Structure 1
Amino acid sequence: MKAWKLDRLGGTLAFVDVPVPQVRPGSVLLRVETQSLMSYLKPYVDGALRAYRAPEHFVPGGNAIGIVEAVGADVWHVRPGLRVVASSHLVARENVSEPGQILIGVTSPDAFGDRLQQSWKDGTLAEYALFPAQAVTPIEGLDDHDLPRLTAVTRCVVPYGGLVRGRLAAGETVVVNGATGAYGTAGVMVALAMGAARVVAAGRNADMLSELARVAGPRVRPVALCGTVARDAAALRTAAGGGAHLAFDMVGHASDPNSTLAALGALHRGGRLVLMGSSAVPVPLDYLQVMFNNWEIIGNFMHAQDAYLPLLALVRSGLLDLGPIRPQVFALADLERAMAAAGRAGSFDLVVVTGPG
């Protein structure tokens, strides 16, 4: 098969012939149909993102949709011919207090993850991909959906995991910080699908916020941030109707903590802040402010193993409308051009790489 292999982060990426992976116990072999590209795939490949760790000589690429070609022993429910979505988020199966975790084909957070990567080092930028059975979810009842657009569920599952962890309930108000980024925009869409009464979309690009509010509907209130914590917190509280129940932070590579602190300051007493972005600087907290307001600060990485099941149900029901997503489709062999497009894509754009068909 054809696959993109990277000898190391910051090294050489080449489109080469490699053997098709062989199934082993507990594994599923997929013929990759579609996958969305991370907007930062190019700097990732170039080794410019210091937080990422990956093995040598591996196939990069995270989540994907594909058809099951074969399954290994000890796989009971997934069968050949099924269309599935594969999640790069893998948590070790042992019943221990802190099981190791990785993003297959993307990164490892620690030394144990490095060991896990050696067992599952290759991702999805190939014609076929081998994944552990617990990381794939059947896609049912969605055959009428445009497949490149449906691939947006692989973006939506990330904020879905954070909103679930933040216990977003129907009728609540949520502030989404970083709403003009790809994951932030997906977070706005998913929060609406989950029943949020009002979503305050916060960011620094006023034009993109206006487009988001126009497309997403009247429950979305855009707030263009100025960078001053007190002024931004007051603007967010006003847009939230006096304060929000939940703040969801999806800012990528922030160089200052101001927007995160403003989102925290926009909360009701007893509100929750979920941190899922990638701030490059520490976030200083006012100890007494947090204590007196009974605020809860929650760090969250990715999502539960079964997160795709309820997320796909939201799509089937029509509650999560993927219609606003604009897929830009590239062939697998055209990865270099696709990476460039992903780097300049807007928040509703989805760069999709397709398999051989």
Structure 2
Amino acid sequence: MKAAVLKKLTTPLAVEQIADPEIGTGEVIVDVAAAPVLPYAGEVFDGTRQDPIELPIVPGCGAIGRVRAFGPDATHLTIGDWVFCDPTVRSRDDARMPDITLQGWSARGEGGLRLQRHYHDGAFAERIRVPTENAIRIGEIAPQDAAAWCAVNTMLVPYGGWLAANLEAGEIALVSGATGNFGSAAVAVALAMGARCVIAPGRNAQALDDLARHFGDRVRTVALTGDEAQDRQRMMQASPDAIDCVMDILPPSVSTKTVRAAAMAVRPYGRVVLMGGVGMLGGDDLALPYPWIMRNDITVRGKWMYPPEAVTRIAGLVHAGLLRLDHFDTTVFALDNVNDAVTHAAANGGPFRMTVLVP
């Protein structure tokens, strides 16, 4: 089969013929119809992000495709089923504390690297092998819509955050990092889940205007000034009522002051979920006042990715028309042009912009 291979950091991906993946018990082979190219893919491939990754590798984080073959443990899949290839692979030998790897992307800890050595190659290929539980049916879709369905890959991340925050219909949510790729998706997902209103702070005026244009009065945008106290006050004033939960999904380059300004805008008894990358490249750690957390009964938790059942649930939101894929402006590249796709993704990684490979 044809695949894009990363052989060495800082070098372009090589498109070449490699062996087809071989199926084993507990695995599924999927014909890749479309695979998203993340905006920061170039930073992974050149080593800037320092993600744990063993080379050579066929990269690619998630895909939409059709089942080609499955093992004897599959009881519901059929050949030709449309599935989302969930890149979040969990070890099966400790349900309480599973090791995790992002297939074709990165690993977490030594256990994650061991897992990655088996589920090594990702979706920048004509076919991919995934664990049975990671080939998740999304229902019947038109083949020409496969690229648009790659938006699920982006929206699943903040969806996992909102599930962790126990966001309920009628509540008010705040997205710290609302003008970014995942942050803008977090706004869309919160509204689809029934949020009364989403507070969307950011520095990019055009991106804030786009959010308001997409979603109307249910989104209240806030232009950040860089002054922590002032920004917190502006967020709270923009909300029609007390803010029930805050999700931070800011990138590594942002100051912890921006995170704290948003987190401490939450109401007493509120919830804060941390999903971003702040601090991963150095800098100050996030400091939240002990008395504020304790006396206001604040719940603060971290969340990485999403639970397995989230894929089925978010597909339901899409099929119901509550979560619209047409918010995304999608640019499609052939697999032969994978390096152009990586460059395009980096330059067009803002709200509701998506770069997709179609093998």
The two structures have a TM-score, normalised by structure 2, of 0.95
The residue number in structure 2 matching 1:320 is: 323
Segments of 4+ moved more than 3 angstroms: 8-12, 141-145
Residue 227 of structure 2 aligns with an amino acid whose one-letter code is T
Alpha-carbon spacing, 1:141–1:82, altered in 2? closer, same or farther (3 Å): closer
- Out of 301, 307, 312, the residue aligned to residue 310 of structure 2 is 307
Superposed CA RMSD in Å reads 1.4
Unaligned runs of 5+ in 1: none
SS at structure 2 position matched to 1:111: helix
Q: How is 1:76-115 mapped onto 2 (pairs within 5 angstroms)?
A: 76-115=75-114
Matched, 1:6 2:3: no
Deviation of 1:144 after TM superposition, in Å, equals 8.5
The answer (yes or no) to whether the contact 1:59–1:125 under 8 Å persists in 2 is yes
Deviation of 1:147 after TM superposition, in Å, equals 2.5
The residue number in structure 1 matching 2:36 is: 36
Residue 340 of structure 1 aligns with an amino acid whose one-letter code is T
Alpha-carbon spacing, 1:11–1:144, altered in 2? closer, same or farther (3 Å): closer
The residue number in structure 1 matching 2:213 is: 214
- Structure 1, 195-204 or 249-258: larger mean CA deviation: 249-258
Residue 216 of structure 2 aligns with an amino acid whose one-letter code is G
The answer (yes or no) to whether the contact 2:27–2:129 under 8 Å persists in 1 is yes
Deviation of 1:96 after TM superposition, in Å, equals 4.4
Output the CA distance in 1 between the equivalents of 2:340 and 2:225.
34
Deviation of 1:97 after TM superposition, in Å, equals 2.8
Alpha-carbon spacing, 1:4–1:145, altered in 2? closer, same or farther (3 Å): closer
Residue 212 of structure 2 aligns with an amino acid whose one-letter code is A
Q: How many residues in Structure 1 have an aligned counterpart in Structure 2?
A: 354
The answer (yes or no) to whether the contact 2:65–2:84 under 8 Å persists in 1 is yes
Deviation of 1:107 after TM superposition, in Å, equals 0.6
The residue number in structure 2 matching 1:344 is: 347
Residue 178 of structure 1 aligns with an amino acid whose one-letter code is G
Output the CA distance in 2 between the equivalents of 1:266 and 1:169.
18
Q: How is 1:166-185 mapped onto 2 (pairs within 5 angstroms)?
A: 166-185=165-184
The residue number in structure 1 matching 2:74 is: 75
- Structure 1, 244-253 or 340-349: larger mean CA deviation: 340-349
The answer (yes or no) to whether the contact 2:39–2:342 under 8 Å persists in 1 is yes
Q: How is 1:10-25 mapped onto 2 (pairs within 5 angstroms)?
A: 10=10, 13-25=13-25
SS at structure 1 position matched to 2:53: coil
Residue 86 of structure 2 aligns with an amino acid whose one-letter code is S
The two structures have a TM-score, normalised by structure 1, of 0.96
SS at structure 2 position matched to 1:227: coil
Report Cα offsets for 1:224-243 as digits up to 9, x if no partner. Answer: 11111111110111112343
Output the CA distance in 2 between the equivalents of 1:229 and 1:296.
21
The answer (yes or no) to whether the contact 1:11–1:47 under 8 Å persists in 2 is no
Output the CA distance in 2 between the equivalents of 1:112 and 1:156.
27
The residue number in structure 2 matching 1:236 is: 235
Output the CA distance in 2 between the equivalents of 1:33 and 1:149.
11
Deviation of 1:49 after TM superposition, in Å, equals 0.7
